[in-house]
Amino acid sequence: MRSRALILSLLALAMAALLAPAAGAAAKGKGKKNAPKVTVMTRNLYLGADLSPAINAPGLPEAFDAAGEIVNDVDASDFPVRAKLLAAEIAKAKPDLLGLQEVALWKDQTPSDLGAPPLGVGTPADHLRYDFLKLLQKELKKRDARYEVVSLQQEFSAELPADTDGSDATGGLFGADMDGSLTMRDAILVRKGGKVRASKPDSGNFETRYEPTVGGILIPVDRGWESVEAKVKGGKRTRGAKFRFVNTHLEAFGEPAIREAQARELFAQGGPLNTKKQVVFLGDINSGGPKDKVGTGFTTPGDEGAYNALVDDAGLFNLGARQTCCYPDVFEPVIGDYRFDHTVDHVMAKPKVKQLDAYVTGGDPSVTGPGGVVASDHGGVVSKLRLGK
């Protein structure tokens, strides 16, 4: 009997030794399973027109003509239709937090009173032409995708007299038949009824700015950033987590050094990335790294500066899909021979944040609205992340 008891004891010890590693592995696996997960999305809505003709106009007559082209292009790009396509993307992705750029507010005034200062002498345009945010929210609501705006950052705003019919014989000075006004905004939205709560919104404009001369007048182009403090509430099977969520749109025009300087402001003293907290950062930074096909034939030399500053100096990790840009201007009847050949839209994070999945939206040119318009002039990025403690 003593021998039998000894044998049973040895067997029990052997079984315990065999089960110990498995139990440890199970515990480790359980820890990963219970880590909180969030889905984030960045989406540039596209203003609806290329602003370059107005920015590069040598004088007021050319600026008024260019403003007329811009107004016509915005109408042709048909944001009410594009909002349906964008809302479908967002409703399918179901991001917990959504960062939007180029959330345009277009206004007009007829007849022209020569625009508002600093370019004009009249009163600000007050007739609403398009509010991209309201139009998008309306389409999201139709799809039962309910999102609350937790931050709305105003950036560049300007007004110009516009010659929309291309004739100097009609309208007022230099053929201006109306005034067109643009206010650029960025926004952070949180999904209602979701697992993420957002509070303490903060925002700021960059000190470094692109300052073109339009019609002989210097126009400062404001860009900026916005952030919220996000919290994922823990439960019986999932632990909680906190992180800072930051959205930005770096300068698209001018020298690449401008957007690199803006990127550095993000992690300088007082910037939203200058923190020891977990950070999820996203937006349109108009810059990419070595894997984003930066180089001759794709982007301007130096465009990688902002990306490198955020990764190499701020310590962020790229946690998004690549190749998001670009379509031709979306008011073209046919997209034609396009390619998404580089990346300007990114999801980045630090520390202890892991990417579980990521993909680009809006990359199928066959998904169009009436007239062939696509959702935006480039794609969005959706990223599913696992947060650290």
State CA 38 to chain mean position distance. 17
The per-residue pLDDT for range 97-109, each reduced to its tens digit, is: 999 999 999 999 9
First to last CA, the chain: 53
Question: Do the domain assignments include residue 100?
Answer: yes
Question: Do the domain assignments include residue 24?
Answer: no
- pLDDT value, residue 339: 78
Give the span between the Cα atoms of 287 and 183, in whole angstroms: 23
- Name the more confident of 14 and 133: 133
Taking a C-beta distance cutoff of 8 angstroms, is the pair 344, 378 a contact?
yes
Quickly tell me which residue has 């962020």 as its tokens. Answer: 316
Torsions phi, psi for 5 (to 5 deg): -65, -40
326 upstream amide cis, omega within 30 of 0: yes
Q: Please, which pLDDT band fits residue 137 given cuts at 50, 70 and 90?
A: very high
Quickly tell me which residue has 């291309």 as its tokens. Answer: 166
Tokens standing for 29?
Answer: 């696996």
Taking a C-beta distance cutoff of 8 angstroms, is the pair 31, 23 a contact?
no
Question: Do the domain assignments include residue 127?
Answer: yes
Question: Do the domain assignments include residue 307?
Answer: yes
- pLDDT value, residue 331: 63
Quickly tell me which residue has 């001759």 as its tokens. Answer: 296
User: CA separation (Å) from 254 to 55, 303, 316?
Assistant: 10, 11, 25
Question: Do the domain assignments include residue 327?
Answer: yes
Across residues 120-149, what is the average pLDDT?
Answer: 97
Give the span between the Cα atoms of 145 and 96, in whole angstroms: 11
Question: Do the domain assignments include residue 11?
Answer: no
- Name the more confident of 14 and 382: 382
- pLDDT value, residue 291: 87
DSSP symbol at 51? -
- pLDDT value, residue 330: 66
Instruction: Report whether pLDDT(31) > 70.
Output: no
Residues in the chain: 389
Tokens standing for 227?
Answer: 């952030």
Sign of the CA dihedral running 271, 55, 182, 149: negative
By CB atoms closer than 10 A (0-12, 13-18, 19+), residue 329 is: middle
- pLDDT value, residue 23: 40
Question: Do the domain assignments include residue 294?
Answer: yes
Q: What ranges in the chain are assigned the alpha helix state H?
A: 2-33, 52-55, 60-77, 79-93, 132-142, 256-267, 304-308
Question: Do the domain assignments include residue 226?
Answer: yes
Report the CATH number at residue 364: 3.60.10.10
The per-residue pLDDT for range 170-183, each reduced to its tens digit, is: 999 999 999 999 99
Across residues 119-134, what is the average pLDDT?
Answer: 95
Q: What ranges in 214-255 are assigned the alpha helix state H?
A: none
- Name the more confident of 338 and 80: 80
The conformational region for residue 204 under phi > 0 = left, psi -120 to 50 = alpha, else beta, is beta
- The fraction of the chain above a pLDDT of 90, given in percent, is 72
State CA 277 to chain mean position distance. 21
Residue 324 lies in domain: 36-386
- pLDDT value, residue 2: 47
- pLDDT value, residue 128: 98
Tokens standing for 356?
Answer: 């579980």
Q: Please, which pLDDT band fits residue 6 given cuts at 50, 70 and 90?
A: very low
Q: What is the three-state SS of 158-212?
A: EEEEECCCCCCCCCCHHHCCEEEEEEEEEEEEEECCCCEEEEEEEEEECCCCECC
Q: Please, which pLDDT band fits residue 152 given cuts at 50, 70 and 90?
A: very high
Task: Spell 22-37 as b/e; 16+ CB within 10 A means b.
Answer: eeeeeeeeeeeeebbb
- pLDDT value, residue 334: 61
- pLDDT value, residue 340: 87
Across residues 160-169, what is the average pLDDT?
Answer: 93
The per-residue pLDDT for range 218-235, each reduced to its tens digit, is: 899 999 999 999 999 888
Three-state secondary structure call for residue 320: coil
Taking a C-beta distance cutoff of 8 angstroms, is the pair 45, 101 a contact?
yes
Per-range mean pLDDT, top range of 114-128, 190-204, 338-352: 190-204
Q: Poorest-confidence range of 124-133, 155-164, 329-338?
A: 329-338
Three-state secondary structure call for residue 99: strand
The per-residue pLDDT for range 234-293, each reduced to its tens digit, is: 888 888 999 999 999 999 999 999 999 999 999 999 999 999 999 999 999 999 998 888
State CA 322 to chain mean position distance. 14
Total count of domains within the chain: 1
**Gyration radius (Cα) of the chain, Å:** 25
